[in-house]
Amino acid sequence: MKDTILLIKKHTILLLFLLGSVTIWGQISVKRNVSPADYSQWSTLNSEKLAADGKWVSYKLAYDSGKDTVFVQQTTGSKKHIFPSATDENFSRDGKWWAAIVPEKGLGILSLKTGKCQWTANVVSYEFLGNGAYVAFLKKSGLEQELCILNLATGQKYSAKDIAEYSFNASGKIAAYITKQENAVKLIWLDQAFRSSEIIQSSAKRFKNLIWNKDADALAFLQELPQDEYQGTNHKLYFVNHIDTTPQLHILDPLLSEDILKGLRIVTPSARKSIEMATDDKKVFFYTTTPKLQTKEKQIVQVWDGATPWTYPSQKNSESWHYNSKMVVWWPEENKLFKIGTDEFLKTQLLADGNYALNHNPLQYEPQYEFASPVDYVLTDVRTGESKKILDKQIRKYDFIKGSGSGNFINYFKEKHWWVYNSKEDSHINLTLPLGIPIDEVDYDCGGTAPPYGSPGWSVDEKYLIVYDQYDIWLLSADGKSQKRITHGREKHIRYRIAEDSYTDSQLFGNAELPGNKFDLSKGVLIEAFGDDKSSGYYYWHPERNIKKMVYQDRMIDHLIKAEQSSSYIFREQSFKLSPRLMFKTEKEKQPKILIQTNLQQNHFDWGHNELISYTDSRGTPLQGVLYYPSNFQKGKKYPMIVHIYEKQSHILHHYFNPAENAMDAFPRTNYTLDGYLVLYPDIAYEVGEPGKSATDCVIAAVKVVTAKGIVEEQHIGLTGASFGGYETGYIVSQTNIFAAAVAGCPLTDFVSQYLSLDDNWGLPRMWRYESQQQRMGVSLFEDYQGYIENSTVAQAVKINTPLLIWSGLEDTMVSWTQGLELHLALRRLQKPNQFLVYPGENHSFLKRETKNDLTQRTKEWFDHYLKEKPFRDNLSSN
């Protein structure tokens, strides 16, 4: 009887469960609206890593509220490991191990074979060495640091305490380290015995700045000299070579020097490597400066002299020992020195082999009003000391001048073309003239020189310079005799570019080296693709097999990582409605496998959709924009709309955006589409000299296209933007009354006062921003004063009738908060509805969570009040 009752109870429970399940399933099928309380469920996929053999992957899910979590899982199997709060995660080169640091637990080293994780507390950094046989990590307890090296196969461990600094050579087989109390420089070999030796020990000042040569058998470092009455610490320089056989120590002491170092100081200038070594392992490069007495005299007056090359703050910076340090080269084995930097040409960049140096003087053509002044470049053979000028008035921006891997060639962009200078033949060749197509950006609409589409680098054999046009990739022979287009994007309206982030063999080892990558074309190259229709993906080009599609879809495809030792790869896929997911593909499988689909909870909510719209400005320029529909959109119904502006934005068509409690520009777009708003992101094309009028023209044209659909409450349209978009927002509402509310973030509002002001970081006049950059006036204030007035929002403030919310960071170094203040005071005097939010402690980009939350909430309430006619909260005023 009891068994019968028990059986009945079981069936009853099962029946109730099934009935309940039907009810639950029915509820799931009815989607609901997302509320702010739901935002914390959303995560962001990032930090994807793929093991060298392609068998394991790791990735992170980051949460605005809550612990970020790292997952390590098999790409074809079902094993998965979870590490909450993990950071600095990496696979070993042999694919056998994975490691990460967790704040509360220390370093975790996971065996991918056994699944066991070994933890070591108090670890602050680590690195796998060589092929992954060893791992080194630094433990910290109070002020004490301990370097530990672990043989992962045997468990054998070496440790050294009292560590001030350490560095492994390129092969990962030898470590150099400096001890604090003992003040010694020592070596440890990663072999079975962990043999060690001491290079030098001293009771004098500390050693520092260890640096290895490329071949991993020579070491250089500095030792501080006693502090004296001069600015900047003086140093001895040490060089040790033949480390694996019979180490030889060479010392350079400026206090004992009777040659070119006499009276000079060896220094460590900021933002530059203090020591560098040439690839021939024979030359060491370092910096010197002339002694300058420390002064504590009280300043009575600042003399801002109109005849100086730079303004007073910049001029003071240029007079510092940091700025005036000059490069010297030392041949330790020959005890030979040569001063590369001179008083006339004090700044130096090295060609890759270190045999040639490219010198220039940033002050040569000052005062001038570009961001980076043009310069003459002088090429110096550091072996012979011979110098010659090779370029006149060359633009010295990063993308305009680069070098080849051997140092034989310098490629530079000038007069709308890529040229190559051959250092051996002393010749200049225009490589792109035969192409007959633009190599500079055809859609460039700022003032000044249009930049090139780019040149990622050279083929490893230096037969070809790789160059981009608007759509395609070209291989141009260094002698100018052949030009080969390896893609056909122009015909397909697809932009092809080498996936440069996938190639780490950069020649940019330090600040002193002329930038330039090299690519082994014989092995093929990974290529990114982006279509005019916003499709995207990746291709692979091989010289024998041409170009092959890996993945290309009408979605956002990015972060492709190919396994080093197999043909498999991972990539990220997303669209407006599809939360990012991590995909895995092998050469054998036709379809990729989903490794992780983020934010599955989205399936329970209404989400909306988006579309690409097309329109033209008054000049007939074809433009695009992205229109987002509200999650509860119904045909035949009209909705309030907010227009977000900042130059061109249509490329975000397939980007997924989480709902969030805040955003950098205070406008988390998804929050609005989930709350019954249409949101429009239009592209803007500019006419130089009329930035405000151009923005007004394009934005109104885009709005008209959307309102013609009959879906917009035309009396409830809002406008928002930050930075340059903040300027555009303020200006546009002075030209039209179609907007019922507007929010302008950190806006520049007065072209005259902003033009006649200084950037706070370096003291540069902001004139360059107007004459040759984003503010797009194209000429100086004094060549078009009326144009500056006509494009200034404060001068048009009397015509503003739209309620305007303005916000700025009190410490903004890019656009002074007083720009927002000017517009606020103008509107206040005119008795126009406005509010000005000023956030202490914030710069141009807000970083504090509480600040971003407050601003995001106030922005939402501003739009809700004027576009949805909701009342303001009582606490909307400042607290």
pTM of the predicted protein model? 0.91
Helix H or strand E encompassing 492: helix 489-492
- Say whether both 523 and 615 belong to one domain: no
Taking all residues of the chain, what is their mean pLDDT, rounded to a whole number?
91
Q: Let me know if residue 586 belongs to a domain.
A: no
The pLDDT of residue 9 is above 50 = no
CATH of the domain at 640: 3.40.50.1820
Half-sphere CA count of 617, side-chain side, radius 13 A = 18
Euclidean distance between CA atoms 736 and 801, whole angstroms: 9
pLDDT digits (tens, 9 = 90+) for 812-851: 999 999 999 999 999 999 999 999 999 999 999 999 999 9
- Say whether both 543 and 617 belong to one domain: no
- Say whether both 737 and 822 belong to one domain: yes
The pLDDT of residue 362 is above 60 = yes
Dihedral angle computed from the Cα positions of residues 661, 662, 663 and 666, in that order, rounded to the nearest 10 degrees: 120
If phi > 0 it is left, if psi is from -120 to 50 it is alpha, else beta; for residue 769 that is: alpha
Burial of 702 from C-beta contacts in 10 A (0-12 / 13-18 / 19+): buried
Helices (H) and strands (E) in the chain, counts: 12, 54
- CB-based contact 403:514 (threshold 8 Å): yes
Distances 82 to 44, 85, 102 between C-alpha atoms, Å: 16, 10, 12
pLDDT digits (tens, 9 = 90+) for 322-359: 678 899 999 999 999 999 999 899 899 998 888 999 99
- Residue 12 has what pLDDT? 38
Query: What is the total count of domains within the chain?
Result: 2
- CB-based contact 328:382 (threshold 8 Å): no
The pLDDT of residue 879 is above 50 = no
Q: Let me know if residue 780 belongs to a domain.
A: yes
- Say whether both 548 and 612 belong to one domain: no
- Say whether both 632 and 545 belong to one domain: no
pLDDT digits (tens, 9 = 90+) for 614-658: 999 999 999 999 999 999 899 999 999 999 999 999 999 999 999
- Residue 8 has what pLDDT? 34
- Residue 7 has what pLDDT? 35
Name, in order, each residue with C-beta under 8 angstroms of 155's C-beta and a sequence gap of 6 or more: none
Take residue 172 and report the two structure tokens written for it.
Answer: 């990962």
The pLDDT of residue 716 is above 70 = yes
- Say whether both 779 and 852 belong to one domain: yes
- Say whether both 653 and 548 belong to one domain: no
- Say whether both 671 and 760 belong to one domain: yes
Last residue of some domain: 554, 581, 597? 554
Own/partner pairs for 337-343, CB < 8 Å, 24+ apart? 337/259, 337/260, 337/261, 338/260, 338/382, 338/385, 339/260, 339/288, 340/285, 340/380, 340/382
Domain hosting residue 481, numbered range:
397-554
The distance between the two most distant Cα atoms of the chain, rounded to a whole number of Å, is 110
Q: Let me know if residue 773 belongs to a domain.
A: yes
Report the Cα 792 to chain-centroid distance in Å. 31
Confidence band for 321, pLDDT divided at 50, 70 and 90: low
Q: Let me know if residue 51 belongs to a domain.
A: no
- Residue 40 has what pLDDT? 92
pLDDT digits (tens, 9 = 90+) for 512-543: 778 888 999 999 999 999 999 999 999 999 99
Last residue of some domain: 511, 534, 554? 554
- Residue 5 has what pLDDT? 35
Distances 398 to 275, 405, 444 between C-alpha atoms, Å: 22, 16, 18
- What's the whole-number mean pLDDT along residues 164-181? 94
pLDDT digits (tens, 9 = 90+) for 726-744: 999 999 999 999 999 999 9
Count of CB atoms within 10 A of residue 250's CB?
Answer: 17
Euclidean distance between CA atoms 338 and 360, whole angstroms: 17
Euclidean distance between CA atoms 533 and 495, whole angstroms: 11
Q: Let me know if residue 709 belongs to a domain.
A: yes
- Say whether both 546 and 663 belong to one domain: no
pLDDT digits (tens, 9 = 90+) for 459-471: 999 999 999 999 9
Q: Which residue has the tokens 């930075």?
A: 723
The pLDDT of residue 67 is above 60 = yes
Gap between the terminal Cα atoms of the chain: 72
Q: Let me know if residue 105 belongs to a domain.
A: no
- Residue 876 has what pLDDT? 58
Euclidean distance between CA atoms 207 and 662, whole angstroms: 46
The pLDDT of residue 18 is above 90 = no
- Say whether both 529 and 621 belong to one domain: no
The pLDDT of residue 72 is above 90 = yes
- What's the whole-number mean pLDDT along residues 260-277? 89
Using DSSP's 3-state secondary structure scheme, residue 551 falls into strand
- Say whether both 437 and 517 belong to one domain: yes
Using DSSP's 3-state secondary structure scheme, residue 739 falls into coil
The pLDDT of residue 203 is above 90 = no
- Say whether both 550 and 612 belong to one domain: no
The DSSP secondary structure of 591-650, one letter per residue, reads SPEEEEE--GGGGGB----EEEEEEE-TT--EEEEEEEPPTT--TT--EEEEEE-SS--G
Using DSSP's 3-state secondary structure scheme, residue 339 falls into strand
Count of CB atoms within 10 A of residue 197's CB?
Answer: 10
Count of CB atoms within 10 A of residue 810's CB?
Answer: 12
Q: Let me know if residue 127 belongs to a domain.
A: no
- What's the whole-number mean pLDDT along residues 199-216? 91
- Residue 779 has what pLDDT? 94
- What's the whole-number mean pLDDT along residues 114-128? 96
Euclidean distance between CA atoms 625 and 676, whole angstroms: 20
- Residue 232 has what pLDDT? 83
Q: Let me know if residue 570 belongs to a domain.
A: no
Last residue of some domain: 508, 529, 554? 554
